[in-house]
Structure 1
Amino acid sequence: MTESGAATDVLVVGGGMAGLAGALALRENGANVTLVERAPEFGEVGAGLQMAPNATRVLKRWGLLEKALEIGVQPKHLVFRDAVTGEELTRQSLKGEFEERYGAPYVVIHRSDLHRVLLEGCQEAGVKRVNDVMVESVETVNGRGIVHTEAGVDYEADVVIGADGLKSTLRPLVANDEPVSSAYVAYRGTVPITDETPKADLEDVVVYLGPDCHLVQYPLRKGELLNTVAVFKSPSFESGEEQYGGVDELEAAYKDCIPAVQAALANLGTGIRWPMYDRDPIENWVSGRMVLMGDSAHPMLQYLAQGACQALEDAAVLQDASAGTVFTEDGINPAGWDDAIRAFNVARAERTARVQRTARVWGESWHVSGIGRTLRNLLFKSRKDNDFQYNDWLYAQGVPGGPAAEAPKVVATGKVPA
C-alpha cells in the first residue's frame, strides 16, 4: 500500500548543489517546488571548491553573490608549478582584466558555505524541503511524474528533477551505464592559517603538477583556513579498493616532489579518501516528465573545477527554458514542461559533454612524466598571463548567467539561438 505525498508543480530529488540550485531557479519562476533529500538533514561534506565566473554570474543573477563573497576568498592568481622542481609554469591573474572580461569574480569557497548560501536562498524563496526520503523510482502517468519512495509515500508533480548525484537512482531511466573509475584518489584537508603558515601563495590558487600526482592549495573563509587537496594515482583503487587502510600510498606518490609539497601533506585528513569517478557523456537526460541535472546527468572529473559550476549553469538554463513555455504571462502551463525539459537537455548536453571530456584530457596533461612532462612544461611556459584563448570557451559571458548575454534563451524547438 502507498500513501499520497505532496502534489506540487516541481519535485526535486537530491539536496546537493544541483538540487538546491534547480529548486531555487524554478521557485524564482513561480513554481511550487518540493525538494526531497535522503539524508536526515541538509549538509555538504568535503573541503574547498573553486567558483569560476561562469558560476558566480549565476549567483549574481539570483542575488546570492554578495553572500558568497562575505565568506569566500577572491584569489589574486591561479598559478601552476612543477611539483618536482618548484618551477613556475604559468599564471593567470584573476582580477582586473579577467574579472572585467568575464563579468564576475573568481571565488574560492568551502563547499559547506556555498551549500548553505543556496539552502538559505531556497528557504527564503519558499522551497518546501523534506528529509529522510529515499526515492526508489519515477514513472510518468497522465502527463505527471509519480515518485515512489522506500517508505511507501508517493509524490506527484508536473515535472521531476533528478539531481541525485554520481550514483543516481534515476539515471537508469535514461542510460544503462556505470561510473567510470579514473584510478586517481583525493585526500582533502583544511587547517587554520597561523603565524607559522608560509605567507607565500596565501592569496593565490596554486597547483603543483607531478608525475601521476598533483597538489592544490588556496585560502578559505577570508584567509582563516588553508585548503589542501592531494590527488594521485592509486594502485589499490586501480584494483577496486575504494578506501585504504594506510597512508603509504599517499607518501609514496609524492616522494619525488619538492619539500614544500611533501610538507603540505600534513594538512590532509587521512581518515577518508575520495575515489575519483566520472561517467561517459550521454545525449538524453529525459524520461517522460523526469529530467536529470548536475552530476546525475554529467558527472565530471575535478581538473577543470567545474562540477558545481556546471550544476549552476544547468539551473540557469532550466530557469530560462521553462520561463517561456511553462511560466507564461497568462499563468502556469503544465503542458509546456515537455518542450521545456527537452530544450534544456538539448541546450546543455553538448556543452557539458565537452567539459567532461576536456576534464579527462586536462587531468592527463597534469600527470605526465618523462618527455611528456618536458613538453607540457614548455607549452605551459609559452603561455603569457591574460592569454584568454584557453579560457573563453568555458568562462565567456555567452554562457549562462552572463550580465551581457544572460542565459541563452532556449525555445520549444530545442535550439539555441546564435
Structure 2
Amino acid sequence: MAKILIAGGGIGGLAAALSIAGRGHRVVVLERQATFAELGAGIQLGPNAFHALDCLGVGEAVRDRAVFIDELRLMDGTTGERVASMPLTGAYRGRFGNPYAVVHRGDLYQPLLDACRASGDIELLGGRPVTRYEQGPAGVTAVTDTGDRFTGAALIGADGIRSAVRGQLVGDGGPRISGHTIYRSVIPMENVPEELRWNTVTLWAGPKWHFVHYPIGGGRFLNLAATRDDDAREEVTGEPADRSHVLGEFPGLSDTARDLLELGEEWRTWVLCDRDPVERWTDGRVALLGDAAHPMLQYAAQGACMALEDAVVIGGLLDWDEDAIPRRLEKYNAERRERTARTQLVAREMGTRLYHPSGAEARARNEMLSSLTVDDLHDRVAWLHGARDFSRGLGVGAGAAR
C-alpha cells in the first residue's frame, strides 16, 4: 500500500482520491482552502460523467440530486427561431447507456466529499496550499506555503487552472484569457413563469454573445449564464455585476430570451480562461489532473466530465509496485492527452464558430444544423458522450463516432 498525495480538494481531486484509494492505496488530499467546499452554480453531466461516477461508487448519489434533461436546444437568439434540438431520452440513453443531467456544483461535490470522508484510506487536510514539490527516485514531497512537508510515493496536481504544481512541472505561465466575459445568476424557479420552465438546456446564440439557461437543484432553481465576446483582457473572478449593465450587454436579444434574462438577480461575472493543450503532464512521480492538466472553456460542457474520467484512469493504472509509478503515470498521460486536447480545442471552436457568428455566417450555421437528423446529432457527440473506458481512443464505447 503506497501513500499518494493529491494537491487540490475540488471535484477532480476528490474523484482521484476515491479512485486511488479504491486500488488499495492511502491518500492524503491537501486543499488550499480551510474547508472543503465547492463554489459556483450549474454544471452539465454527460453520460460519460455518469460512467465515471459509477466507477467511483457515487453515481446513484449524484443521480438522486440531478435534473435529467429532455433535450439540448439551440435557438437563434435574435429571431427566436429554434435551430436544432437534440433529444436526450429514449434512443440517446439507450445508445450511450446513461442520462444527460444538470446539477448544482455542490450536488456533484457533496457525494464525492461524503465518500472520501467515509473512507478509512483518505485523509482530507484543509488550509494546506501546495506551492512546490521536491522528488527523488523513491518518493516526492509536497511543500505548502507555510513550509509543511508531506511525502508520498506520488503527487497528483489537481489544483486547478492556476495550478502551482503545473507551474513547476510545465512552466507555461498564467492561463490564456479568452476575451469572453460570462455573467451568472441563479434564481428560484417560483420566479419563472410556468410557460418558461423548460426541462432543457437552452442556448440562445447571437452576434458575439450567447445565453444559456437550465434548471438545477432538483428543479428548484434556474441557472442563467450569459456570455459576451467583448475582447476582455484582464482576469475577473466572481465579481458582482450590476443588473442594468448585464441587460445592456446583450442587444438584439429576442423577446422570450430577454424575458428570461431580465429574471436574473445578483449577477456575478468572470472572464473565461483556458490553456493550450500540452503533450506532457508528468514529471517522474508527479502528474496533473483535471483543470491543472487541460483547462477548457465551458462551451462543450465537459470540464468536470474530463476530470472525472482522468480520476478513473489514473486510479486504474496505479498498481501495487511503487517502483513502477513513474511509468504508470506516463501511461496515464499518454492515454488521456489526445482526448482531452481535442475537447479543449472543440470547446474553443464552439465559442466562436457555433455560438457567436452574425449575418451570413449565422444563417449558414442555422441551415447546417437544422438539416441534421436526430441520429446525425447523436453521431456528432458520440465521441464525447459515448466514451466508457476514457482512453486516448476518441470515443471508445457504444456508438462511438471517430
The residue type paired with residue 384 of structure 2 is: L
User: What is the DSSP-based 3-state SS (H/G/I as helix, E as strand, rest coil) of the residue aligned with 1:67?
Assistant: helix
Shift of 1:62: 2.4
1:346-372: CA deviation from partner (whole Å, max 9, x where unpaired) = 000111000001111111121011111
CA shift digits 1:192-247 (9 cap, x unpaired): 11275233452111111111111111111221111111111235x23666658645
For residue 142 of structure 1, what is the aligned residue in structure 2? 137
Alignment partners' CA distance in 1, 2:236 and 2:73: 33
Q: Name the residue aligned to 2:306.
A: 310
Counterpart contact for 1:284–1:345, Cα < 8 Å: yes
1:384 counterpart = 2:380: no
Alignment correspondent of 2:177: 181
Displacement of 1:265: 2.4
After TM superposition, the score normalised by the length of structure 1 is 0.88
Aligned match for 1:283, one of 279, 284, 288: 279
1:257 positional shift: 0.6
Q: Which residue of 1 is the match for residue 219 of structure 2?
A: 223
1:270-349 aligned within 5 A = 270=266, 272-322=268-318, 326=319, 332-349=320-337
Report the equivalent of 1:53.
47
Give the stretch that moved more between structures: 207-216 or 196-205: 196-205
TM-score (norm 2): 0.92
DSSP 3-state at the match of 2:67 = coil
**Shift of residue 157 of structure 1?**
0.5
Contact 2:240 2:266 in 1 (8 A): no
Q: Does 1:167 align with 2:157?
A: no
Q: Number of paired residues?
A: 389
Structure 2 unaligned blocks of 5 or more? 398-402
Shift of 1:269: 4.6
How many angstroms does 1:376 deviate by? 0.8
For residues 77-111 of structure 1, what are the alpha-carbon distances to aligned partners after superposition, in whole Å with 9 as ceiling and x for unaligned?
A: 11110110111111111111101111111111000
1:278 shift after superposition: 0.3
Return the letter of the residue paired with 1:76. Answer: D
Contact 2:48 2:386 in 1 (8 A): yes
Q: Which ranges in structure 1 are unaligned for 5 or more consecutive residues?
A: 1-6, 327-331, 408-418
Is the CA contact (8 Å cut-off) linking 2:160 and 2:291 kept in structure 1? yes
- State the 1:63 CA deviation: 2.6
2:245 pairs with 1:268: no
- The superposition leaves residues 99-154 of structure 1 with CA deviations (integer Å, 9 ceiling, x where unpaired) of 11111111110001101111111112231100000212111123211111122210
Q: Structure 1 residues 130 and 195 mapped into 2: Cα distance closer, same or farther (>3 Å)?
A: closer
How large is the RMSD of aligned CA atoms in angstroms?
2.1
Matches within 5 A, 1:182-221: 182-194=178-190, 197-221=193-217
Q: Distance in 2 between matches of 1:286 and 1:344?
A: 9
What is the match of residue 256 of structure 1?
A: 252
With over 3 angstroms needed to count, the CA separation of the structure-2 counterparts of 1:252 and 1:316, relative to structure 1, is: same
Task: Pick the aligned partner of 1:110 from 104, 115, 132.
Answer: 104
Contact 2:183 2:241 (8 Å CA) reproduced: no
Question: In the TM superposition, what is the alpha-carbon distance from 1:173 to its structure 2 partner?
Answer: 2.4
**Cross-structure match for 2:390:** 400
Q: Which residue number corresponds to residue 32 of structure 1?
A: 26
Match for 1:72: what amino acid? Answer: A
The yes-or-no answer on 1:87 pairing with 2:87 is no
Partner AA of 1:361 in structure 2: E
Q: Does 1:369 align with 2:364?
A: no
Retained in 1: the 8 A contact 2:56–2:312? no
**Displacement of 1:172:** 2.0
Q: Secondary structure at the match of 2:75?
A: strand
Deviation sequence 1:55-77 (CA, Å, 0-9, x none): 11111222312111211100111
CA distance in 1, matches of 2:379, 2:91: 14
Whether the 8 Å contact between 2:6 and 2:157 is mirrored in structure 1 is yes
Identical positions, percent: 32
